[in-house]
Amino acid sequence: AGAGAMGTSSQVELQGEYLNKAKISDGGKKHRKNWTSTWVVLDADQLTFYKESKQEALANLKPGCKPDGVALCGALIDWTTEKSSRSNVLQITTHTGSEYLLQADCYTTICKWYDAIKKTVNSLSNG
């Protein structure tokens, strides 16, 4: 599937790029920052991080293992210039107080993700 496909329920809203991801806190507890390149999939209510494209990742997943994901209901998304020296960094804070940074070298790419995630967060909070 290409980037920009729109859907409902568990259908994919956006995928198609690798982004740099760092989890900087877990439930309010600070994490050591560790940037990794990850294949990100946005669906109707969450972001999921895969090591490789979703199809490959699901095929390679060990039984009982779930890919790392972020529930977007009640989350906040904002640009940040303070949490990293990198350019084009957005921050997602979940309702449980976990913080994630996403970054891409291409501004257009990260803007596309910012807009799509923001739209998803808004649609979840508006019922």
The 43-82 contact track toward ligand I3S, x by CB under 6 A, reads ----------------------------------------
Contact yes or no for 81/101 (Cβ under 8 A): no
Write out the two tokens for 51.
């090591």
Per DSSP, which regions of 44-98 are E strands?
46-50, 68-71, 76-79, 89-93
Residue selected from 86, 112, 118, 119 as contacting ligand I3S according to rule CB under 6 A: 86
Which of residues 43 and 99 has its CB atom nearest to ligand I3S in the complex? 99
- Does 84 bind ligand I3S (CB under 6 A)? Our answer is yes
Residue selected from 5, 11, 28, 33 as contacting ligand I3S according to rule CB under 6 A: 33
Q: Which helix (H) or strand (E) holds 54?
A: helix 54-60
Binding residues (CB under 6 A) for ligand I3S: these are: 32-33, 35, 84-86
